[in-house]
Amino acid sequence: MMQRFSISLDTGLLNSFDNYISNKNYSNRSEAVRDLIRQSLIKEEWERDKMVMGVITVVYDHHQPKLQEKITAIQHDASCHIISATHVHMNHDNCLEVIIVKDLADSVANLSASLSAIRGIRDCQLIMTSTGKEIG
Ligand code: NI
């Protein structure tokens, strides 16, 4: 069910918000406010070490000795629940691994940090998202 509420803002802040909305291509203020609220709730889930979903992307050169084995070993030894790991051969040198994880926020962040710290990894990023339970 949708509920309405009104917000009082000073003119300067409202102008900044309208510029933000326009730059992000929102069609109205309500949709932008909903997204900002959800983003804040997700951030809080991560800060409070709640059950979350994370997507870790890893780019590396598979020619580097032992690198692929290390990436696989860390995932097998991880204490968190890995839902899927997808490997893409991007070109002659580079591989992309996309790892989807559901667990407590700290465990997911630790897995990402462990992968990121492996020597030879070209890029490692963590998308912090939600199980969806707390964002409606
Ligand atoms: Ni590959």
Half-sphere exposure of 102 (CA within 13 A, CB side): 6
Ligand 1 center from residue 59 Cα (angstroms): 10
Beta bridge partners of 129: 53
Q: Are 104 and 52 in contact (CB under 8 A)?
A: yes
Ligand 1 center from residue 54 Cα (angstroms): 22
Ligand 1 center from residue 120 Cα (angstroms): 15
Q: Are 42 and 93 in contact (CB under 8 A)?
A: no
Q: What is the pTM of this model?
A: 0.88
Q: What is the mean pLDDT of residues 112-136?
A: 94
Question: What digits encode the pLDDT tens for the residues 30-85?
Answer: 999 999 999 999 999 999 999 999 999 999 999 999 999 999 999 999 989 999 99
Ligand 1 center from residue 81 Cα (angstroms): 23
**pLDDT reading at 136 higher than 80:** no
